[in-house]
Structure 1
Amino acid sequence: MTTGTPPPNRPRRSRARTLLPLGVAVWIVLEIWLLILVAGATNGFTVLLILVAGAVLGAVVIKRAGRRAFRNLTETLQQMPGQPGATEAPTGRTGSKGNGLLMLGGLLLMIPGVISDAAGLLLLLPPVRAVLGRAAERSLERRMRAAAPGGFSDAFQQARIHRPDGKVVQGEVIREDGAAGGTRPDDGPDADRPPLTR
Protein backbone atom coordinates (compact mmCIF):
# COMPACT_ATOMS: atom_id res chain seq x y z
CA MET A 1 0.00 0.00 0.00
CA THR A 2 1.60 3.24 -1.10
CA THR A 3 0.82 6.66 0.25
CA GLY A 4 1.92 9.01 -2.45
CA THR A 5 0.76 12.41 -3.49
CA PRO A 6 -2.74 12.60 -4.91
CA PRO A 7 -2.95 12.73 -8.70
CA PRO A 8 -2.92 16.26 -10.08
CA ASN A 9 -6.29 17.71 -10.89
CA ARG A 10 -6.97 17.50 -14.61
CA PRO A 11 -8.37 20.68 -16.09
CA ARG A 12 -12.08 20.49 -16.72
CA ARG A 13 -13.23 20.31 -20.31
CA SER A 14 -15.06 23.38 -21.43
CA ARG A 15 -18.79 23.08 -22.03
CA ALA A 16 -18.32 23.96 -25.71
CA ARG A 17 -15.87 21.09 -26.25
CA THR A 18 -18.29 18.70 -24.56
CA LEU A 19 -21.40 19.78 -26.46
CA LEU A 20 -19.86 20.44 -29.88
CA PRO A 21 -19.74 16.80 -31.09
CA LEU A 22 -23.31 16.26 -29.93
CA GLY A 23 -24.46 19.45 -31.68
CA VAL A 24 -22.76 18.46 -34.94
CA ALA A 25 -24.35 15.01 -34.83
CA VAL A 26 -27.82 16.47 -34.20
CA TRP A 27 -27.30 19.00 -37.01
CA ILE A 28 -26.30 16.29 -39.52
CA VAL A 29 -29.28 14.10 -38.61
CA LEU A 30 -31.64 17.09 -38.88
CA GLU A 31 -30.21 18.07 -42.28
CA ILE A 32 -30.69 14.54 -43.64
CA TRP A 33 -34.23 14.40 -42.24
CA LEU A 34 -35.15 17.75 -43.83
CA LEU A 35 -33.72 16.68 -47.20
CA ILE A 36 -35.80 13.50 -47.04
CA LEU A 37 -38.90 15.58 -46.23
CA VAL A 38 -38.24 17.91 -49.17
CA ALA A 39 -37.65 14.94 -51.47
CA GLY A 40 -40.91 13.35 -50.27
CA ALA A 41 -42.88 16.57 -50.81
CA THR A 42 -41.44 17.21 -54.26
CA ASN A 43 -38.98 14.81 -55.90
CA GLY A 44 -35.31 13.89 -55.90
CA PHE A 45 -34.54 16.22 -58.81
CA THR A 46 -35.71 19.25 -56.78
CA VAL A 47 -33.43 18.29 -53.90
CA LEU A 48 -30.51 17.91 -56.29
CA LEU A 49 -31.32 21.28 -57.84
CA ILE A 50 -31.40 22.95 -54.38
CA LEU A 51 -28.03 21.42 -53.44
CA VAL A 52 -26.36 22.42 -56.72
CA ALA A 53 -27.80 25.95 -56.60
CA GLY A 54 -26.55 26.36 -53.01
CA ALA A 55 -23.06 25.19 -53.95
CA VAL A 56 -22.86 27.50 -56.99
CA LEU A 57 -24.19 30.52 -55.07
CA GLY A 58 -21.82 29.82 -52.18
CA ALA A 59 -18.83 29.65 -54.52
CA VAL A 60 -19.81 32.97 -56.13
CA VAL A 61 -20.22 34.63 -52.72
CA ILE A 62 -16.87 33.35 -51.44
CA LYS A 63 -15.09 34.46 -54.63
CA ARG A 64 -16.63 37.94 -54.43
CA ALA A 65 -15.84 38.34 -50.72
CA GLY A 66 -12.26 37.16 -51.29
CA ARG A 67 -11.72 39.67 -54.09
CA ARG A 68 -13.15 42.45 -51.94
CA ALA A 69 -10.93 41.51 -49.00
CA PHE A 70 -7.85 41.43 -51.26
CA ARG A 71 -8.76 44.82 -52.76
CA ASN A 72 -9.18 46.31 -49.28
CA LEU A 73 -5.84 44.90 -48.19
CA THR A 74 -4.12 46.30 -51.27
CA GLU A 75 -5.65 49.75 -50.74
CA THR A 76 -4.66 49.74 -47.07
CA LEU A 77 -1.08 48.80 -47.88
CA GLN A 78 -0.87 51.49 -50.58
CA GLN A 79 -2.11 54.17 -48.16
CA MET A 80 0.41 53.32 -45.44
CA PRO A 81 2.86 56.11 -44.59
CA GLY A 82 6.11 55.88 -46.48
CA GLN A 83 4.61 54.16 -49.50
CA PRO A 84 4.89 55.90 -52.87
CA GLY A 85 1.67 57.70 -53.70
CA ALA A 86 0.37 57.64 -50.11
CA THR A 87 -1.77 60.71 -49.59
CA GLU A 88 -3.68 60.10 -46.39
CA ALA A 89 -4.16 57.61 -43.61
CA PRO A 90 -6.47 54.72 -44.36
CA THR A 91 -10.07 55.50 -43.62
CA GLY A 92 -12.68 53.02 -42.53
CA ARG A 93 -14.92 52.25 -45.47
CA THR A 94 -18.39 50.96 -44.91
CA GLY A 95 -17.95 48.12 -47.40
CA SER A 96 -14.69 46.85 -45.91
CA LYS A 97 -16.30 45.17 -42.91
CA GLY A 98 -18.12 41.87 -42.94
CA ASN A 99 -15.97 39.96 -45.41
CA GLY A 100 -15.42 37.17 -42.90
CA LEU A 101 -19.13 36.78 -42.26
CA LEU A 102 -19.82 36.96 -45.99
CA MET A 103 -17.33 34.13 -46.60
CA LEU A 104 -18.94 32.16 -43.78
CA GLY A 105 -22.30 32.63 -45.46
CA GLY A 106 -20.88 31.35 -48.74
CA LEU A 107 -19.38 28.34 -46.98
CA LEU A 108 -22.71 27.56 -45.32
CA LEU A 109 -24.40 27.76 -48.72
CA MET A 110 -21.88 25.30 -50.16
CA ILE A 111 -22.49 22.75 -47.38
CA PRO A 112 -25.32 20.44 -48.45
CA GLY A 113 -28.44 20.92 -46.40
CA VAL A 114 -31.50 23.07 -45.88
CA ILE A 115 -30.56 24.55 -42.48
CA SER A 116 -27.06 25.53 -43.62
CA ASP A 117 -28.51 27.10 -46.77
CA ALA A 118 -30.99 29.14 -44.70
CA ALA A 119 -28.20 30.29 -42.35
CA GLY A 120 -25.99 31.17 -45.33
CA LEU A 121 -28.77 33.19 -46.95
CA LEU A 122 -29.32 35.07 -43.67
CA LEU A 123 -25.62 35.96 -43.57
CA LEU A 124 -25.92 37.49 -47.03
CA LEU A 125 -28.22 40.19 -45.60
CA PRO A 126 -26.19 43.30 -44.56
CA PRO A 127 -28.26 44.07 -41.39
CA VAL A 128 -27.72 40.52 -40.09
CA ARG A 129 -23.98 40.75 -40.81
CA ALA A 130 -23.79 44.13 -39.03
CA VAL A 131 -25.52 42.81 -35.89
CA LEU A 132 -23.40 39.65 -35.79
CA GLY A 133 -20.21 41.64 -36.45
CA ARG A 134 -20.89 44.01 -33.55
CA ALA A 135 -21.70 41.07 -31.25
CA ALA A 136 -18.48 39.30 -32.25
CA GLU A 137 -16.41 42.48 -31.66
CA ARG A 138 -17.94 42.96 -28.20
CA SER A 139 -17.31 39.33 -27.30
CA LEU A 140 -13.69 39.52 -28.49
CA GLU A 141 -13.05 42.74 -26.57
CA ARG A 142 -14.57 41.26 -23.42
CA ARG A 143 -12.37 38.16 -23.68
CA MET A 144 -9.26 40.25 -24.37
CA ARG A 145 -9.93 42.41 -21.31
CA ALA A 146 -10.47 39.32 -19.18
CA ALA A 147 -7.28 37.68 -20.47
CA ALA A 148 -5.03 40.72 -20.15
CA PRO A 149 -6.29 43.63 -18.02
CA GLY A 150 -3.57 45.93 -19.35
CA GLY A 151 -4.41 45.43 -23.00
CA PHE A 152 -3.12 43.41 -25.90
CA SER A 153 0.30 45.07 -26.02
CA ASP A 154 0.89 44.40 -22.32
CA ALA A 155 -0.08 40.76 -22.78
CA PHE A 156 2.40 40.47 -25.66
CA GLN A 157 5.17 42.00 -23.55
CA GLN A 158 4.40 39.67 -20.66
CA ALA A 159 4.51 36.67 -22.98
CA ARG A 160 7.93 37.74 -24.21
CA ILE A 161 9.58 38.20 -20.82
CA HIS A 162 8.19 35.24 -18.90
CA ARG A 163 9.82 31.88 -19.30
CA PRO A 164 7.67 28.72 -19.16
CA ASP A 165 8.88 27.98 -15.61
CA GLY A 166 7.55 31.35 -14.42
CA LYS A 167 10.89 33.12 -14.03
CA VAL A 168 11.19 36.62 -15.43
CA VAL A 169 14.22 37.18 -17.60
CA GLN A 170 15.24 40.82 -17.74
CA GLY A 171 18.15 41.98 -19.74
CA GLU A 172 19.58 44.36 -22.24
CA VAL A 173 21.41 43.76 -25.48
CA ILE A 174 24.64 45.72 -25.75
CA ARG A 175 26.52 45.59 -29.02
CA GLU A 176 30.28 45.63 -28.85
CA ASP A 177 30.65 48.16 -31.65
CA GLY A 178 28.18 50.56 -29.99
CA ALA A 179 25.77 50.54 -32.95
CA ALA A 180 22.09 50.95 -32.18
CA GLY A 181 21.03 48.14 -34.47
CA GLY A 182 21.15 46.89 -38.01
CA THR A 183 23.88 44.87 -39.63
CA ARG A 184 27.58 45.57 -39.53
CA PRO A 185 29.48 45.91 -42.78
CA ASP A 186 31.68 42.94 -41.88
CA ASP A 187 28.66 40.66 -41.25
CA GLY A 188 28.70 37.75 -43.62
CA PRO A 189 28.52 34.01 -43.62
CA ASP A 190 32.13 33.67 -42.42
CA ALA A 191 32.29 36.69 -40.10
CA ASP A 192 33.63 36.11 -36.60
CA ARG A 193 30.82 36.38 -34.10
CA PRO A 194 31.16 36.67 -30.35
CA PRO A 195 30.04 33.60 -28.41
CA LEU A 196 26.56 33.63 -26.95
CA THR A 197 27.80 32.70 -23.46
CA ARG A 198 31.03 33.60 -21.82
Structure 2
Amino acid sequence: MFARLFILFTTVSLLEIFVLVKVGGVLGALPTVALVIVTALIGSALVRSQGLQLVAQLQQRLAKGEMPGQQLIEGIMLIVTGVLLVTPGFVTDLCGLLLLQPSIRATIAKTILANVKFSSATMGGGFSQHNSGFSQSNIDNDVIEGEFERKDNDK
Protein backbone atom coordinates (compact mmCIF):
# COMPACT_ATOMS: atom_id res chain seq x y z
CA MET A 1 0.00 0.00 0.00
CA PHE A 2 2.80 2.41 0.93
CA ALA A 3 4.64 1.66 -2.31
CA ARG A 4 1.53 2.38 -4.40
CA LEU A 5 0.93 5.69 -2.65
CA PHE A 6 4.58 6.63 -3.03
CA ILE A 7 4.48 5.88 -6.76
CA LEU A 8 1.19 7.77 -7.17
CA PHE A 9 2.40 10.91 -5.38
CA THR A 10 5.76 10.86 -7.13
CA THR A 11 4.19 10.40 -10.56
CA VAL A 12 1.61 13.15 -10.00
CA SER A 13 4.27 15.54 -8.69
CA LEU A 14 6.57 14.92 -11.65
CA LEU A 15 3.68 15.27 -14.09
CA GLU A 16 2.64 18.56 -12.44
CA ILE A 17 6.17 19.94 -12.71
CA PHE A 18 6.39 18.89 -16.37
CA VAL A 19 3.05 20.52 -17.26
CA LEU A 20 3.83 23.70 -15.29
CA VAL A 21 7.19 24.06 -17.05
CA LYS A 22 5.59 23.53 -20.48
CA VAL A 23 2.76 26.00 -19.81
CA GLY A 24 5.21 28.45 -18.27
CA GLY A 25 7.35 28.21 -21.41
CA VAL A 26 4.38 29.09 -23.59
CA LEU A 27 2.61 31.72 -21.43
CA GLY A 28 5.43 32.97 -19.24
CA ALA A 29 5.96 32.69 -15.49
CA LEU A 30 3.54 35.34 -14.18
CA PRO A 31 0.55 34.34 -16.35
CA THR A 32 1.09 30.70 -15.37
CA VAL A 33 1.14 31.53 -11.65
CA ALA A 34 -1.93 33.77 -12.10
CA LEU A 35 -3.75 30.97 -13.93
CA VAL A 36 -2.99 28.52 -11.11
CA ILE A 37 -4.30 31.01 -8.53
CA VAL A 38 -7.46 31.76 -10.55
CA THR A 39 -8.27 28.08 -11.00
CA ALA A 40 -7.86 27.56 -7.25
CA LEU A 41 -10.21 30.47 -6.44
CA ILE A 42 -12.87 29.44 -8.95
CA GLY A 43 -12.60 25.80 -7.91
CA SER A 44 -12.99 26.69 -4.23
CA ALA A 45 -16.15 28.69 -4.95
CA LEU A 46 -17.61 25.83 -7.00
CA VAL A 47 -16.80 23.25 -4.31
CA ARG A 48 -18.47 25.44 -1.70
CA SER A 49 -21.68 25.86 -3.71
CA GLN A 50 -21.90 22.17 -4.57
CA GLY A 51 -21.15 21.30 -0.96
CA LEU A 52 -24.10 23.38 0.19
CA GLN A 53 -26.35 21.63 -2.35
CA LEU A 54 -25.10 18.28 -1.14
CA VAL A 55 -25.84 19.17 2.49
CA ALA A 56 -29.41 20.09 1.48
CA GLN A 57 -29.81 16.71 -0.27
CA LEU A 58 -28.40 14.93 2.78
CA GLN A 59 -30.87 16.70 5.07
CA GLN A 60 -33.77 15.78 2.78
CA ARG A 61 -32.79 12.11 2.81
CA LEU A 62 -32.47 12.14 6.60
CA ALA A 63 -35.86 13.86 6.95
CA LYS A 64 -37.43 11.06 4.88
CA GLY A 65 -35.73 8.47 7.09
CA GLU A 66 -33.55 7.18 4.26
CA MET A 67 -29.90 6.25 4.51
CA PRO A 68 -27.82 9.04 2.86
CA GLY A 69 -24.89 6.78 1.90
CA GLN A 70 -24.38 8.21 -1.56
CA GLN A 71 -24.49 11.79 -0.29
CA LEU A 72 -21.91 10.98 2.39
CA ILE A 73 -19.55 9.46 -0.16
CA GLU A 74 -20.08 12.40 -2.51
CA GLY A 75 -19.29 14.72 0.41
CA ILE A 76 -15.98 12.97 0.96
CA MET A 77 -15.33 13.23 -2.76
CA LEU A 78 -16.04 16.98 -2.63
CA ILE A 79 -13.44 17.33 0.13
CA VAL A 80 -10.93 15.52 -2.09
CA THR A 81 -12.00 17.76 -4.98
CA GLY A 82 -11.32 20.86 -2.90
CA VAL A 83 -7.86 19.60 -2.03
CA LEU A 84 -7.14 18.84 -5.69
CA LEU A 85 -8.28 22.28 -6.83
CA VAL A 86 -6.30 24.15 -4.19
CA THR A 87 -3.15 22.13 -4.88
CA PRO A 88 -1.04 24.12 -7.36
CA GLY A 89 -0.93 22.55 -10.78
CA PHE A 90 -2.98 21.86 -13.86
CA VAL A 91 -3.20 18.06 -13.63
CA THR A 92 -4.76 18.14 -10.16
CA ASP A 93 -7.05 20.98 -11.31
CA LEU A 94 -8.24 18.83 -14.20
CA CYS A 95 -8.94 15.91 -11.86
CA GLY A 96 -10.73 18.25 -9.46
CA LEU A 97 -12.86 19.74 -12.23
CA LEU A 98 -13.85 16.25 -13.35
CA LEU A 99 -14.95 15.38 -9.81
CA LEU A 100 -16.96 18.61 -9.68
CA GLN A 101 -19.28 17.18 -12.33
CA PRO A 102 -22.29 15.81 -10.39
CA SER A 103 -22.85 12.98 -12.89
CA ILE A 104 -19.26 11.74 -12.63
CA ARG A 105 -19.29 12.06 -8.84
CA ALA A 106 -22.63 10.21 -8.60
CA THR A 107 -21.38 7.38 -10.82
CA ILE A 108 -18.23 6.93 -8.73
CA ALA A 109 -20.25 7.07 -5.48
CA LYS A 110 -22.69 4.41 -6.76
CA THR A 111 -19.76 2.20 -7.76
CA ILE A 112 -18.22 2.58 -4.30
CA LEU A 113 -21.55 1.79 -2.60
CA ALA A 114 -22.03 -1.29 -4.78
CA ASN A 115 -18.56 -2.64 -3.99
CA VAL A 116 -18.28 -1.85 -0.28
CA LYS A 117 -20.19 -3.73 2.39
CA PHE A 118 -21.03 -1.99 5.63
CA SER A 119 -21.79 -3.93 8.79
CA SER A 120 -22.79 -2.80 12.24
CA ALA A 121 -19.62 -4.33 13.68
CA THR A 122 -17.40 -2.05 11.60
CA MET A 123 -19.64 0.97 12.13
CA GLY A 124 -19.55 0.72 15.93
CA GLY A 125 -23.07 -0.60 16.41
CA GLY A 126 -24.55 2.06 14.22
CA PHE A 127 -28.08 2.35 13.05
CA SER A 128 -30.35 0.10 11.06
CA GLN A 129 -32.79 1.36 8.48
CA HIS A 130 -36.54 0.84 8.95
CA ASN A 131 -39.54 2.27 7.15
CA SER A 132 -40.17 4.63 10.04
CA GLY A 133 -36.63 6.06 9.99
CA PHE A 134 -33.55 5.16 11.95
CA SER A 135 -33.53 3.22 15.19
CA GLN A 136 -30.59 2.08 17.23
CA SER A 137 -29.95 -1.60 16.59
CA ASN A 138 -28.00 -2.51 19.70
CA ILE A 139 -30.02 -1.33 22.68
CA ASP A 140 -28.46 -2.19 26.01
CA ASN A 141 -31.19 -3.62 28.29
CA ASP A 142 -29.01 -3.45 31.41
CA VAL A 143 -29.19 0.33 31.77
CA ILE A 144 -30.21 1.57 35.21
CA GLU A 145 -31.26 5.17 35.41
CA GLY A 146 -30.54 7.18 38.52
CA GLU A 147 -29.04 10.27 40.03
CA PHE A 148 -25.66 10.79 41.63
CA GLU A 149 -23.97 13.36 43.78
CA ARG A 150 -20.23 13.99 43.75
CA LYS A 151 -18.65 14.21 47.19
CA ASP A 152 -15.12 15.48 47.34
CA ASN A 153 -12.67 13.59 49.53
CA ASP A 154 -10.74 16.78 50.28
CA LYS A 155 -13.23 18.14 52.87
1:57–1:110 contact (8 Å) kept in structure 2:
no
Which of the numbers 9, 13, 17 marks the counterpart of 1:32?
Answer: 17
1:54–1:109 contact (8 Å) kept in structure 2:
yes
Query: Could you say which residue in structure 2 is the equivalent of 1:56?
Result: 41
AA partner of residue 136 (structure 1): I
Distance 2:58 2:109 in 1: 19
Q: CA deviation at 1:26?
A: 1.8
Q: CA deviation at 1:33?
A: 0.9
SS of aligned partner of 1:153 = coil
Runs of 5+ unmatched residues, structure 1? 1-15, 80-88, 145-151, 158-171, 175-179, 192-198
Which of the numbers 87, 95, 99 marks the counterpart of 1:123?
Answer: 99
Query: Could you say which residue in structure 1 is the equivalent of 2:87?
Result: 111
Which of the pair has more CA radius of gyration?
A: 1
Q: CA deviation at 1:138?
A: 2.3
Q: CA deviation at 1:92?
A: 7.2
More helix by share: 2
User: Could you give the per-residue CA deviations for residues 6-37 of structure 1, whole angstroms, max 9, x where no partner exists?
Assistant: xxxxxxxxxx2222112211211110111000
Equivalent runs, 1:154-165 vs 2, <5 Å? 154=121, 156=124
Moved over 6 A (4+): none
Name the CA shift for 1:24/1:154 in 2 (closer, same or farther; >3 Å): closer
Distance 2:81 2:2 in 1: 23
Distance 1:189 1:66 in 2: 45
Name the CA shift for 1:57/1:30 in 2 (closer, same or farther; >3 Å): same
Equivalent runs, 1:69-148 vs 2, <5 Å? 69-71=54-56, 79=63, 89-90=64-65, 96=71, 98-141=74-117, 144=118
Q: Which has the higher contact order (CA 8 A, sep 6+)?
A: 2
Taking structure 2 as the reference length, what is the TM-score of the superposition?
0.68
Query: Could you say which residue in structure 1 is the equivalent of 2:145?
Result: 182
Percent identity, aligned pairs only? 21
1:61–1:102 contact (8 Å) kept in structure 2:
no
Distance 1:124 1:44 in 2: 28
AA partner of residue 116 (structure 1): T
